[in-house]
A = this chain, B = another copy of it.
Amino acid sequence: MSTPEAINAEIATQTELFNKLRLENAEPAALEETRKKLGELKKSLALLKNAAGGSKDAGKKKERLLLKTPKGTRDYGPGEMFCREHVQRIVRECFVLYGGCELDTPVFERKDILAGKYGEDAKLIFDLEDQGGEQLALRYDHTVPLARYLAMGGATNTQSKLFQVGKVYRRDNPVMSKGRMREFSQADFDISGQWDSMIPDAEVISLLCTLLSRLDVGEFTIKLNHRKILDGIFEVCGVPPEKIRPISSAVDKLDKLPWAEVKKEMTEEKGLDPASADKIGEYVKHKGGRALLDQLFADTTLTANASAKQGLDEMATLFTFLDIYKVSDKISFDLSLARGLDYYTGIIYEAIVEASAPPGFKTPDATATAEPSPPAPAAPPKKKIKKPTPAAADGEDEEIDESQVGVGSIAAGGRYDNLVGMFTSAAAGESKKGMPCVGVSIGLDRIFAIVWPRWIERGMRSKEVMAYVMAAGDGLIKERMELVQELREAGIWTDFLAKNKPKLPAQFAAGERDEVPFAIILGGDEIKAGLVTVKQQRWEIVEGKKAKVESADKGTQMRRSELVQWLKESQTFKEWSNGRLI
């Protein structure tokens, strides 16, 4: 049996390896193995300590600091942030293009604001410790804080398009490689207020399509349904009123489970009459476009139901608007889409891309006719990975089959007409008029999980340095600083090596690591003559790796006084200033 010292040393080595792999974005499998090993080591250490009499204090003294971020969170270094900022910039630009203005709310809320909004998922809320003040919790999404802001009177009609970009928190089991985190970024766009039917709804869906087209996520589909149609279907199939939400939540699992299992949940767990379940099964198999809508309009049992009829009418209006917005080809009207959250009252939608689906999953063909699709094949038996958590104190073991997890939907939303009213009524102690809302949440981490590997493939830069000032003489620190200052004053992103007398090759190497397009070289004699040498550098992808293009160019000598003007007139400067990224 090993000594605690030996195990401790091994833990330190593995922790270092684990951190290194994480920072390098290593293969999930490699990361997984290290994580597993770390977990086992810690267990043996704990066993050993217990066997030795479990002197807790003695153990504590020797305990080493575990250098890691909390479970389900991570750092994003320069390369990743360059990519993430790019994604966020596109999202913000689209929000503004559609007339949105920005809102920012605190990262935590008073606990009673969040209470009763998330149903079963409330257990995933991160609470703050009560340190003699208010009971607080980290925000779970942007929708509830927005509704609280609106209930406080924070928006007028003209400011009815609000967007928020920021992090939200859920104590869920993370699948880091797929962008499923405990701390993750969402960008929300919501339209509040009394407007005419389906106009704001069409605006939000059009926005979502514009946004996903501009991001580099590949082909996408918007799965679309309407809560009122769904509720109408449940009613005509004989679901009693109190079972409508539980049955709806069973239907919501159809994208992950075969029909047989969902039916079992409806009948065995939730006590629904099997005949009713079969009727529902017939309906929710349908997906398509306007043809499906026509088919449902022809279903007189359904149209006799007031809820279903209203939903179908609204859907018809929406389809007309989506045609005008030229996005109908992106839509899959999907009767199996139910969405988990209770507060939706109208249309609901989810954006999926092929890259976001689990293996074997195909994006539904949105242009398909209203033919019912065949029942989903039975899922293969899942290989579960018992995941030891790296934090000894954590103690939560999870079973997640990473290979079977897709990125999931990359955006989702719907209409929620009663949420603001819940707040105004609760604050007034009586029923108060609410404010209808429709909105969408963009899952920025999931988009990043799709975009980032492509970004690496293309060898994107991770830094924006345009000019690197070097000395080919005796250090020339003052002269270098002087020129750096001058270039920065002119708005040229400039850097230099922070050494008094660096060798020229070391300076070139540093500039090349930043892929700097202009190497600017100062020499003692040149300075006296008022001259400076500029060498242009280019990078290309060679065999999947970014490499400097070798050139015989010895550089261009020019008057030092003309350098700024020359740089600003260069093609590179213009392209970079316009946001060229490679």
Chain A residues within 8 Å of B, Cβ to Cβ: 8, 12, 15-16, 19-20, 23, 62, 64-71, 73-78, 81-82, 84-85, 96-99, 101-110, 112-113, 126-136, 138, 148-149, 151-159, 161-162, 167, 171, 183, 191, 195-196, 199-200, 202-203, 206, 210, 320-321, 324-326, 391, 393-396, 423, 426-429, 462-465, 477-478, 481-482, 485, 488, 491-495, 498-500, 510, 513-514
Chain A to chain B contacts (Cβ below 8 Å), 30 pairs = A12-B428, A20-B153, A23-B152, A65-B423, A67-B151, A69-B105, A75-B149, A75-B152, A78-B159, A81-B102, A82-B101, A97-B491, A98-B495, A99-B463, A99-B494, A99-B514, A107-B107, A107-B167, A128-B128, A133-B391, A157-B510, A158-B514, A161-B495, A191-B498, A195-B498, A196-B477, A196-B498, A199-B499, A206-B485, A324-B482
Q: Can you name the residue of chain B whose Cβ is closest to the Cβ of A135?
A: B393
Q: Tell me the bound Cα distance from A543 to B302 in angstroms.
A: 62
Question: B residues within 8 A CB of A158?
Answer: 510, 513-514
Contact, CB under 8 Å: B70 / A106: yes
Contact, CB under 8 Å: B132 / A485: no
- The answer to whether A393 and B133 touch (CB under 8 A), given A82-B101, A82-B102, is yes
Contact, CB under 8 Å: A426 / B65: yes
- The answer to whether A171 and B129 touch (CB under 8 A), given A106-B183, A162-B78, is no
Instruction: Output the least CB separation between A137 and chain B (Å).
Output: 9
Q: Tell me the bound Cα distance from A127 to B128 in angstroms.
A: 6
Instruction: Output the least CB separation between A126 and chain B (Å).
Output: 6
Given contact pairs A324-B481, A326-B485, a sample of 6 additional A-B residue pairs in the complex whose CB atoms are under 8 Å apart = A73-B106, A74-B106, A78-B102, A129-B129, A134-B391, A196-B477
Q: Tell me the bound Cα distance from A210 to B494 in angstroms.
A: 14
Q: Tell me the bound Cα distance from A102 to B67 in angstroms.
A: 21
Contact, CB under 8 Å: B151 / A429: no
- Picked from B134, B199, B514, the residue with its CB within 8 Å of the CB of A498 is B199
Q: Tell me the bound Cα distance from A321 to B480 in angstroms.
A: 11
Contact, CB under 8 Å: B129 / A127: yes
Contact, CB under 8 Å: B498 / A200: yes
Question: B residues within 8 A CB of A103?
Answer: 75-78, 81
Q: Can you name the residue of chain B whose Cβ is closest to the Cβ of A16?
A: B153
Q: Can you name the residue of chain B whose Cβ is closest to the Cβ of A127?
A: B129
Contact, CB under 8 Å: B493 / A133: no
Q: Tell me the bound Cα distance from A79 to B361 in angstroms.
A: 45
Contact, CB under 8 Å: A394 / B134: yes
Contact, CB under 8 Å: A465 / B99: yes
- The answer to whether A131 and B127 touch (CB under 8 A), given A82-B101, A99-B495, is yes
Contact, CB under 8 Å: B109 / A70: yes
Q: Tell me the bound Cα distance from A99 to B149 in angstroms.
A: 39
Instruction: Output the least CB separation between A482 and chain B (Å).
Output: 5
Q: Tell me the bound Cα distance from A78 to B150 in angstroms.
A: 13
Q: Tell me the bound Cα distance from A103 to B463 in angstroms.
A: 12
Q: Can you name the residue of chain B whose Cβ is closest to the Cβ of A326?
A: B485
Question: B residues within 8 A CB of A65?
Answer: 112-113, 423, 426-427
Contact, CB under 8 Å: A73 / B149: no
Contact, CB under 8 Å: B64 / A428: yes
Q: Tell me the bound Cα distance from A97 to B486 in angstroms.
A: 12
Q: Can you name the residue of chain B whose Cβ is closest to the Cβ of A84?
A: B104
Instruction: Output the least CB separation between A526 and chain B (Å).
Output: 19
- Going nearest first, the 10 A-B pairs with the smallest beta carbon separation are A99-B495, A78-B101, A73-B106, A81-B102, A195-B498, A65-B426, A199-B498, A127-B129, A158-B513, A76-B104
Q: Tell me the bound Cα distance from A115 to B555 in angstroms.
A: 53
Question: B residues within 8 A CB of A482?
Answer: 324
